[in-house]
Amino acid sequence: MSVVLRRHIPIIILASLAFFMVGDTLLLDPTYNAYAASARSVVSIIGSFAVMLSVTLLSRIHIRRIQRRRNVIESSVLLICMWTTIAWGLYRFAFFGEKPSVEYITQSIFRGIVSPGDATIYSILAFFIASAAYRAFRARSLEATVLLAAGIIVMLGNAPVGEAIWGGFKPMTTWIMDVANKAGARVIIMSAIIATIALYIRIILGYERSWMGRGE
């Protein structure tokens, strides 16, 4: 395959669509916005076919693992759950006219698997976090001393014993959380936004080619 087909044409298509969608955000022309809405619908349709392709490829990978007797249990469970869900949704849509909905499934998975799993992981990590805090809160430098002092103030401000010791811990804790903490969080968020914009610009201009596959 030539370099034009592998590299130049995908970059041109991506850049054209990116500028087109940016124009939809900046311009208020009804005709232009209607075309942009149609483009988003086309992207959704293409995404549906991409999901079908990914399901097929995923099935092939795990069927090969089962044939080679590697990770048989995990692959079998994944295939059974995936195809059972797909078959059930197609059956309900074909015979009862119900539109596919994953809300009940996702809520059931969240309540039955994700929430208990999160609670288990956080309970296990509590000891690790405590040991990490002990190692981090050491006044070896000026920055570490400030971190140690802020941590102690916030801890005493949120604990009942801190109010009993001195009533000024609560206002200091409020100031640290509402002013210093929010300022740092906003800096991190703004840095992430700028980095994301820079990555988008690199992709549009063709400098970032990792999304095109290996060796690009």
Percent of the chain with pLDDT over 70: 87
Does position 42 have pLDDT exceeding 70, yes or no? yes
Residue 184: how many CA atoms within 13 Å on its side-chain side? 5
**Which residues, 6+ apart, have CB-to-CB distance to 208 below 8 Å?**
199, 202
Q: For 103-111, what is the mean pLDDT?
A: 69
- Identify the residue whose tokens are 């956080």: 122
pLDDT for 169 beyond 80: yes
Q: Is the pLDDT of residue 50 over 80?
A: yes
- What pLDDT digit, counting tens, does each position of 187-216 carry? 999 999 999 888 888 877 777 777 666 555
Question: Whose CA is closest to 137, among 127, 129, 145?
Answer: 145
* Average pLDDT of the chain, as a whole number: 79
pLDDT band of 1, cuts 50, 70, 90: low
**Can you state the angle between helices 9-26 and 181-205, rounded to 10 degrees?**
130
Whole-model pTM?
A: 0.52
Q: What is the pLDDT of residue 191?
A: 94
What is the band of 43 on the pLDDT scale with cuts at 50, 70, 90?
confident
